[in-house]
Structure 1
Amino acid sequence: MYELSGVTKRYTRGKDVVHALDGVDLTIADGDRLVVQGPTGGGKSTLLQMLGGLDRPTSGSVTLDGTDLAGLSESRLTEVRSEKIGFVFQSFNLIPTLTAQENVETALVPLGVKTAERRARAAEALASVGLGERLRHLPGEMSGGQQQRVAIARALVKKPKVLLADEPTGNLDESTRDEIMDVLEKLWAEQGLTFVMVTHDSALAKKAPRLVTIRKGRITVKENAKA
């Protein structure tokens, strides 16, 4: 479970102070599926970075299963991210010179998984997103939707507790967007993930069981949005 209490994040831009997050309180239960929506610059990605331990708050606490992420050393925080949190980004972030299978395997290297097991788990993860026949293809040989499936497989191959997705369908057409969301929602249900997604897409936001709207660093939570 996530507990955010009084979370603020301030940046300095020249003489100006930007309040990316301004006193955010939020609880995310295990197994929640939550969408974060709001205008550009409103704090959506900053909130996701806090949940993922990619940034630290100026003040307040971000706890995951009782551990305050902001209070961890950098090395321990890296371990938590490697073990518990999977990330999916708009730009896929695949290594162009590695095959689909090799890209997925990269998530297991920090965990010390041996080569044979890495290969087997990567193949299984790719099969779970419908790419069992694409193991040896490079990113440049795949469509955008297929590349995002590889990125999803990479995020989930380590069997994390949490999946954080930042505009995962932002570079895709409407048809491919729906396919990717079907994959994400299927895996969320099957694996019991806590799933938090940032999106500009109102059609996706309306389907979420919980919707967080963030504007000027402040949040509004809507429970039981139309799903």
Structure 2
Amino acid sequence: MYTLQGVTKRYTRGKSTVHALAGVDLTIEDGGRLVIQGPTGGGKSTLLQMLGGLDRPTAGSVELDGVDLAKLSEAKLTKVRAKNIGFVFQSFNLIPTLTAQENVETALVPLGGKASERRRRAAEALDSVGLGERLGHLPGEMSGGQQQRVAIARALVKQPKVLLADEPTGNLDESMRDEIMEVLETMWKEHGLTFVMVTHDSAIARRAPRLATIRKGKVTITENAAA
């Protein structure tokens, strides 16, 4: 479970100070699904980075299962990310010279284990997102939707507790958007993940049981009983 208390993030730009987050209090239950929306520059990605331990707050606490990520050393924080948190980004972030299977395997390298086991798990993860026949293909040989499926497989192959997605459908057309959302929603349900996603797409937001709207660093939560 995530528990955020008084999370504030300030950036200094020249002589001005930008308040990306301003005293955010938020709880996300295990297995919960939350979509984050708001205007550009409103703090959406900053909040996601706090949840993923990719950035630290200026003030406040970001606890995951009772452990304050903001207080961990960089080495311990890296271990938490490697083991417990999967990331999916808008730009896919695949290594162009590696095959789909090799890209997925990169998520397992920090966890150790035999190379043969990493290959097996990567192949299974790709099969679970419908790419069992594309293991040996390079990113440049796949469509945008297929590349995002590889990125999802990479995020999930380590069997994380949390899946964080930053505009995962932002580079895709409407049909591909729906396909990727089906994959993400299926993975969320099947694996019991805590799933948090940033999106500008209101159609996607309406599908989520909880919506966090950020404006000027402040968060408002809306429950969607119909989702």
TM-score of the aligned structures, taking structure 2 as reference length: 0.99
String of CA shifts for 1:86-106, please: whole Å, max 9, x gaps: 000000000000000000000
Q: Superposed, which structure 2 residues align to 1:1-227 within 5 Å?
A: 1-227=1-227
Query: How far 1:152 sits from its partner (Å)?
Result: 0.1
Distance of 1:106 and 1:65 partners within structure 2: 26
SS at match of 2:48: helix
- Matched residue pairs, number? 227
Letter in 2 for 1:11: Y
- The amino acid across from 1:160 in the alignment is P
Mapped partners of 1:33, 1:5: distance in 2:
19
Please state how far the C-alpha of 1:223 moved relative to its aligned partner: 1.4
Aligned AA (2:136): R
Deviation at 1:114, TM superposition (A): 1.1
CA distance in 2, matches of 1:219, 1:101: 39
Q: Which amino acid aligns with 2:190?
A: E
Q: 1: distance between equivalents of 2:226 and 2:97?
A: 42
For residues 144-178 of structure 1, what are the alpha-carbon distances to aligned partners after superposition, in whole Å with 9 as ceiling and x for unaligned?
A: 00000000000000000000000000000000000
Q: Shift in Å at residue 226 of structure 1?
A: 3.4
Output the CA distance in 1 between the equivalents of 2:114 and 2:220: 45
The ranges of structure 1 where at least 4 consecutive aligned residues each deviate by more than 2 angstroms after the TM superposition are none
How far apart in 2 are the matches of 1:151 and 1:174? 19
Deviation at 1:224, TM superposition (A): 2.5
Matches of 1:22 and 1:36 in 2, distance apart? Answer: 16
% of aligned pairs identical? 82
What residue identity is the alignment partner of 2:101? Q
Note the residue ranges of structure 1 that are not aligned, 5 or more in a row.
Answer: none
Q: TM-score scaled to structure 1, two decimals? A: 0.99
Partner SS state of residue 6, structure 2: strand
Alpha carbon RMSD of aligned pairs, Å?
Answer: 0.5
1:97 match: secondary structure: coil
- Cα-to-partner distance string for 1:189-211 (whole Å, 9 max, x where unaligned): 00000000000000000110000
8 A contact 1:207–1:225 mirrored in 2: no
1:113 Cα deviation from its structure 2 partner: 2.2
Q: Aligned-pair distance for 1:225?
A: 5.0
2:41 & 2:225 partners in 1: Cα distance? 24
Does the CA-based 8 Å contact 1:211-1:225 persist in structure 2?
A: no
| Residues 221/2 of structure 1: CA separation in 2 closer, same or farther (3 Å cut) | same
> AA paired with 2:159?
K
The answer to whether the 8 Å contact 1:206/1:225 transfers is no
Residue aligned with 1:196, SS = strand
How many angstroms apart in 2 are the aligned matches of 1:210 and 1:125?
Answer: 28
The unaligned stretches of length 5 or more in structure 2 are none
